[in-house]
Amino acid sequence: MATRRIAVGNQSPGLAEKAQGSYTTQLNSITKDRKATKTRMADPDSLLVHELMKRRGDEEAHHKAPLMTMNLLYKNLNEAESAELTDYFGRRHGMGNSILNLINMPKETHQGGIHAISRAWGYEEDGKSVPRGFVQDMLDASEMPMEYRKHIGDLYLDKAVKDMEGDINDLLTAHPSMQEKLDLSGIRAAQALKDSAARS
């Protein structure tokens, strides 16, 4: 079984291996009331959430808590222990391919931006560089009992992931695509129909 598939299975069992496909499926599931039919209006709130969160252009789904780095903590755990770790971290932060752990980013900002930054800070395991910083801490913790793995994971989520989220916000704010106007015409039309029905 491929390493990435194992990581997804550990951290977000039942979700698709590909991050973008998993993101789109989950987004469509939570915003399913966005299509009007002859007998039903589309929900404007659902339309708005979908419009704000959907993939645009060359965007890719990025793991806020890096998939392969978090998976270091799962080394040599059995199925029950893996489930315990996933449940523990899942109560704090989205894991694996959960939509709570994914954010769409323009490809250049994703691959050349946040990944370059997180590797430079020792926040992300890349398999090529000598481990350091939090990556080394995660590797060390992978040989330790469960409580220590949780402790290091907590520190990682509190410091590294929060730092990376700040960097993501800066990168996205500076990207020209963030200045593009959203097409809210469908949302306005759905809201007008809803308001009209409420007045009737």
**Position 152 in a domain:** yes
Closest CA to 153 of 102, 93, 80: 93
Closest CA to 74 of 172, 6, 132, 127: 6
**Position 38 in a domain:** no
Q: Provide φ and ψ at 116, rounded to 5°.
A: -65, -40
Tens of pLDDT, residues 5-28: 999 999 999 999 999 999 999 999
**Position 33 in a domain:** no
* Number of domains comprising the chain: 1
**Position 125 in a domain:** yes
Q: How many CB atoms lie within 10 A of CB 1?
A: 6
Give the mean pLDDT of 43-52: 91
**Position 108 in a domain:** yes
The confidence score (pLDDT) of residue 1 equals 46
The confidence score (pLDDT) of residue 69 equals 95
Collapsed DSSP state (helix, strand, coil) of residue 76: coil
The confidence score (pLDDT) of residue 196 equals 83
**Position 37 in a domain:** no
**Position 36 in a domain:** no
Predicted TM-score (pTM) of the model is 0.89
**Position 165 in a domain:** yes
Which structural domain, as residue segments, surrounds residue 63? 20-28+45-185
Tens of pLDDT, residues 158-200: 999 999 999 999 999 999 988 888 888 888 888 888 888 888 7
What does R_g of the chain's alpha carbons equal in angstroms?
20
Q: Provide φ and ψ at 10, rounded to 5°.
A: -70, -50
